[in-house]
Structure 1
Amino acid sequence: MNLAPDLNQVQCVTLQNAQLKVSILTLGASIQSVYLNGYEHSLVLGSPKLTDYLQGAKYFGAVVGRVANRTNKGHAVIGGKTYQLPPTLPEAHHLHGGPDGTGSKNWSIIEQTDNMVQLQTTLADGEMGYPGNMVVDVFYRLLDSTLEMEITATTDKLTICNFAGHSYVNLDGKGSILDHQLSIKADHYLPVDAGLIPTGEVTPTAGSAFDFHQLRTIGREGYPELDSNFCLSLASNRPLQTVATLKGPITGLTLNYQTTEPGLQVYDGRHIRLDAESNINQGALTAYAGLALEAQHWPDAINQSHFPPILLAPEDTYRQVTRYAFK
């Protein structure tokens, strides 16, 4: 059952230091805006209207889960038992935790300072079809000109867990991200079928249209449509490191995107359509208005035994650290 949150209960938290001013909505634990000292535009897409976050701006800056990305037809076998997760319509597949995933929940503020906020939500056993009561915490911290996001989760029953931050970045604050330059430290990517479900192949990026080892303009000739998982590692947990670099052609601003996660879903925002009143920057938002960099485990991992596992047991704690380092 789809239960829309009470927008009257949504709070906005502002974090600020000498370099950054960041607004966080409790709705979806969403990053609404990121302002870097010396620039008048937000470096991420956001809307001043809360209703947009349930409609055209759904997932803008949100923390999505309990399992981000797509699970094939919502089918999951966990501990030998089969679970059916609801489709995220109009898709046939389960996407971003389902219709009532964490991206559409109103989180609680646990602790707040000038440059840090801790948000929390609880997911019930059986909610969206998943086993286990789960407690999820998100910590946003400002570290000079870097925004850090730490996500932790615990469960009381064997379950699956794969969170992702879903901010759309546009370092120029306007225009198309196809003009931005991008590099990704990934030797492999996952081919997908027509429904964007991985085929199971793990394909080398070298020599392919998905080779971003060198900084290149996203929309150059031979550009593929991007809604793709780049394979950063086969290990589920690894040290925090820079995995992608994005550069804006007008401002010259650079984002070094850092994470502990083994995968990076890159989505070119080709379906974005919002009017000017729904943009905290100026102008209507059209296709390719922002690039989503979504650090996570690989999609459909529960149905692909050779992918890094996403099982979470009661004795373990899920933890992801991702940083947006601007310069």
Structure 2
Amino acid sequence: MNRAPDLNQIQSIMLNNAQLKVSILTLGASIQSVYLNGYEHSLVLGSPKLTDYLQGAKYFGAVVGRVANRTNKGHALIDGTTYQLPPTLPEAHHLHGGPAGTGSKNWSIIEQTNDMVQLQTPLADGEMGYPGNMVINVFYRLIDTTLEMEITATTDQLTICNFAGHSYVNLDGKGSILDHQLRIHADHYLPVDAGLIPTGEVTPTAGSTLDFNQLRRINRDDYPGLDTNFCLSLGRRPLQTVATLKAPITGLTLDYQTTEPGLQIYDGRHIQLDVESNINQGVLSAYSGLALEAQHWPDAINQPHFPPILLAPEDTYRQVTRYVFY
């Protein structure tokens, strides 16, 4: 039985510098809002109602894991031992660390200043079916107009580990992100089956409907939608810009930077929240926000030719991702 967190214990943390004001919830280590100096709307989707984060706003801004994205039927073979990870209903597959993954935890505040906070949560051996006791830290830092997220993790036995920040961005604060322009620095993407599990193919973006190597409008004229992993590299690398998002009304731009080898782009087609659940004005409906999720490639434990997601006791997992607004 997965017990929901006590919402009375959830804390809200406000980070400020001269350019940004960011609200972080201890629930899921979630980014609740991001305000850029000179603009009245949040640049990410969020709700003022904590109950939404257990329902329709689940994953909004959260750090999801211990393995983000989908694992085929929850099957994981680690060092010769098969582990069964629970499905994240209504899916048949294990998604974002399971029903009680890190996105559903109430994280502890370890350190806090005006422009930085460190949050931490433990995961027990066997929790959500995974081997190994883990300790995960998330550091949020404000640097001029940049929000930096650093995630670290350690384990006491061999396990799998793949975290992702799950913020939905809408730089105009209203309307559909289908009018935004998007560029992704990726030469390949992963085709998926009907259950959104990678087929194993690694397909060139060039000449395909998923070629975003030049800034182009996100629309659905050419393809059914985006819930796609773009392949940035074959392993973790130095921090660099991997995607750019530009808004049609405000002209605001986001440069999305990461160390990770994959970028899951989800167009928010299933978003549906009423007006009271939006820190900006208006109803949150399909395509109200674009999720950019830096991570390793999905279902990597079952795809031996994908970049590996094993974490050993002698190693430390470390991801750095930055949202650069201008």
Q: Equivalent residue for 1:197?
A: 197
After the TM superposition, which residues 223-262 of structure 1 pair with which residues of structure 2 at under 5 Å, given as runs? 223-235=223-235, 237-262=236-261
3-state SS of paired residue (1:18): coil
Q: Equivalent residue for 2:262?
A: 263
Q: Equivalent residue for 1:61?
A: 61
Is this contact kept in 2: 1:172–1:248, CA < 8 A?
Answer: yes
Q: CA deviation at 1:38?
A: 0.2
3-state SS of paired residue (1:265): strand
Q: Equivalent residue for 2:26?
A: 26
User: In the TM superposition, what whole-angstrom CA distance separates every residue of 1:172-206 from its partner, at most 9, and x where no partner exists?
Assistant: 00000000000000000000000000000000000
Q: CA deviation at 1:322?
A: 0.1
Gaps in structure 2 of 5+ consecutive residues: none
Query: TM-score, normalising length from structure 2?
Result: 1.00
CA distance in 2, matches of 1:194, 1:234: 25
Number of residue pairs aligned between Structure 1 and Structure 2: 326
After the TM superposition, which residues 105-144 of structure 1 pair with which residues of structure 2 at under 5 Å, given as runs? 105-144=105-144
CA distance in 1, matches of 2:76, 2:147: 34
Q: CA deviation at 1:111?
A: 0.1
3-state SS of paired residue (1:193): coil
Is this contact kept in 2: 1:209–1:224, CA < 8 A?
Answer: no
Runs of 4+ in structure 1 displaced over 6 angstroms?
none
Q: For residue 144 of structure 2, what is the amino acid of its counterpart?
A: D
CA distance in 2, matches of 1:69, 1:209: 22
Q: CA deviation at 1:224?
A: 3.7
| Bigger Cα displacement from structure 2, 298-307 vs 213-222 | 213-222
Q: Equivalent residue for 1:102?
A: 102
Q: Equivalent residue for 1:184?
A: 184
Q: For residue 23 of structure 1, what is the amino acid of its counterpart?
A: S
Q: CA deviation at 1:220?
A: 5.7
CA distance in 1, matches of 2:156, 2:322: 29
Q: Equivalent residue for 1:168?
A: 168
Q: For residue 116 of structure 2, what is the amino acid of its counterpart?
A: M
Query: TM-score, normalising length from structure 1?
Result: 0.99
Is this contact kept in 2: 1:259–1:295, CA < 8 A?
Answer: yes
CA distance in 1, matches of 2:141, 2:203: 36
User: In the TM superposition, what whole-angstrom CA distance separates every residue of 1:31-75 from its partner, at most 9, and x where no partner exists?
Assistant: 000000000000000000000000000000000000000000000
CA distance in 1, matches of 2:296, 2:75: 17
Q: CA deviation at 1:221?
A: 2.7
CA distance in 1, matches of 2:286, 2:220: 16
3-state SS of paired residue (2:58): coil
CA distance in 2, matches of 1:273, 1:289: 9
User: In the TM superposition, what whole-angstrom CA distance separates every residue of 1:257-288 from its partner, at most 9, and x where no partner exists?
Assistant: 00000000000000000000000000100100
3-state SS of paired residue (1:239): coil
CA distance in 2, matches of 1:224, 1:278: 27
CA distance in 1, matches of 2:222, 2:133: 46
CA distance in 2, matches of 1:322, 1:242: 9
Is 1:85 matched with 2:85? yes
CA distance in 2, matches of 1:42, 1:217: 21
Q: Equivalent residue for 1:71?
A: 71
User: In the TM superposition, what whole-angstrom CA distance separates every residue of 1:131-175 from its partner, at most 9, and x where no partner exists?
Assistant: 000000000000000000000000000000000000000000000
Is this contact kept in 2: 1:45–1:280, CA < 8 A?
Answer: yes
- CA RMSD after TM alignment: 0.5
CA distance in 2, matches of 1:80, 1:121: 28
| Bigger Cα displacement from structure 2, 58-67 vs 212-221 | 212-221
User: In the TM superposition, what whole-angstrom CA distance separates every residue of 1:108-130 from its partner, at most 9, and x where no partner exists?
Assistant: 00000000000000000000000
Q: For residue 324 of structure 1, what is the amino acid of its counterpart?
A: Y
Q: CA deviation at 1:2?
A: 1.3
Q: For residue 185 of structure 1, what is the amino acid of its counterpart?
A: H
CA distance in 1, matches of 2:198, 2:52: 30
Q: For residue 322 of structure 2, what is the amino acid of its counterpart?
A: R
Q: Percent identity?
A: 87
3-state SS of paired residue (1:277): helix
3-state SS of paired residue (2:57): coil
3-state SS of paired residue (2:128): helix
Q: For residue 285 of structure 1, what is the amino acid of its counterpart?
A: L
Q: Equivalent residue for 1:148?
A: 148
CA distance in 2, matches of 1:80, 1:225: 37
Is this contact kept in 2: 1:268–1:288, CA < 8 A?
Answer: yes
Is this contact kept in 2: 1:169–1:291, CA < 8 A?
Answer: yes
